[in-house]
Amino acid sequence: MMDARMEKDALDLQTKNLRIAVEIGGRQVDQLGKPLEGSKFEMLPLEEQKQSLRNEGAYLYLRNFWDQYDFLVRKLKNEKADELHFFIPFLRSLTETYGELLFFLNQDTRTMVGVFVGNYLLFYSDQYRFFSPAAVYRTEYKRFLALAKNVLDGEQIVLPEEIDQLTYRALGKLGFNLPPLEQIFGATYFEPLSQKTFECWQKDTSANFYNKYYRVHSTYTHRSFINQTQGNTGTEIFWVMQFMYLIAQLMLELADAKLFDGAFESDYRRFSTAIGKAYPQMLQQWDKSKKK
């Protein structure tokens, strides 16, 4: 009974710390998104239009990441232990969102514009071609294409005028498909933008991140050749929480460096300090669970 109580206390503390990340991430989303709400894009000078598109793309990545992260934190506390392996695909999704933003923010202006506008329009083209040729999809496609026209012309990017002509392959020929995550996490820009986070985790590095986490999460998710519950160890709750610490730190560090010029440095340190104080207690319970 005492062990169960201690484990619950340890996990409650970790969940409380995860809420710190949600709070900081939410403020980053608000700070990036508010200027976009009131701006009249078509009235901006060309260079400011380019910056606005960059910020809107980054805003959507951040909002989607922290919305999903918040959902997982709220669900995590009440999830059944033998069903926690179903969380693993969500961890993979968080990694994909982080990795794509990492790539996006380290490209030249032309590539950023092409990736954001092209993939935004591709979403509506896919919906139109594969699910429903609804007028609302064609309307939004034409609206956004017209809105971005000056920027696209300035960067010499030509995207199809008709919604059914834009495909994944066509976008790839233009060089605006997102690369594989293995390539992104192997790029030279990853290490300096994750340095502070990996200093907190002695066994993790930018070099082993892809194989240790994303590839393993992908394998664990599919597990095509074994019973879906056979791989359960009873310790999934601990490594889910540990990874949620890690991916939140990585996202906060990236956003602060590339979008906020260090304005959230103290918040990052606050979150990291909270982890440093609470993690040993969780690690102790983790070790005990492994021995059961």
> Per-residue DSSP letters for 202-243?
TT--TTTHIIIIIIHHHHHHH-TTS-TTTT--S-HHHHHHHH
Model pTM score:
0.91
Instruction: Mark whether 100 and 125 lie in a shared domain.
Output: no
| Range in 33-37, 70-74, 162-166, 280-284 with the lowest mean pLDDT | 280-284
| CA within 13 Å, CB half, 9 | 9
Q: Which residue has the tokens 């894009």?
A: 41
Q: Are residues 208 and 100 in the same domain?
A: yes
Query: Is residue 53 domain-resident?
Result: no
Asked if the model's pLDDT at residue 78 lies above 90, the reply is no
51 part of a folded domain? no
Q: Which two tokens stand for residue 231?
A: 């791989």
pLDDT band at residue 2, thresholds of 50, 70 and 90? very low
285 against 257, higher pLDDT? 257
Angle at alpha carbon of residue 166, lines to 162 and 171, rounded to 5°? 145
Distance CA 195, CA 281 (A): 25
Is there a single domain that holds both residue 284 and residue 220? yes
Among residues 158, 178, 198, which one ends one of the domains?
A: 178
Q: By CB neighbour count within 10 A (0-12 exposed, 13-18 middle, 19+ buried), where does 37 fall?
A: exposed
Across 182-204, average pLDDT: 93
Asked if 163 contacts 125 with a C-beta cutoff of 8 angstroms, the reply is: yes
User: Are 283 and 192 in the same domain?
Assistant: yes
At residue 208, the pLDDT reads 87
Number of domains forming the structure of the chain: 2
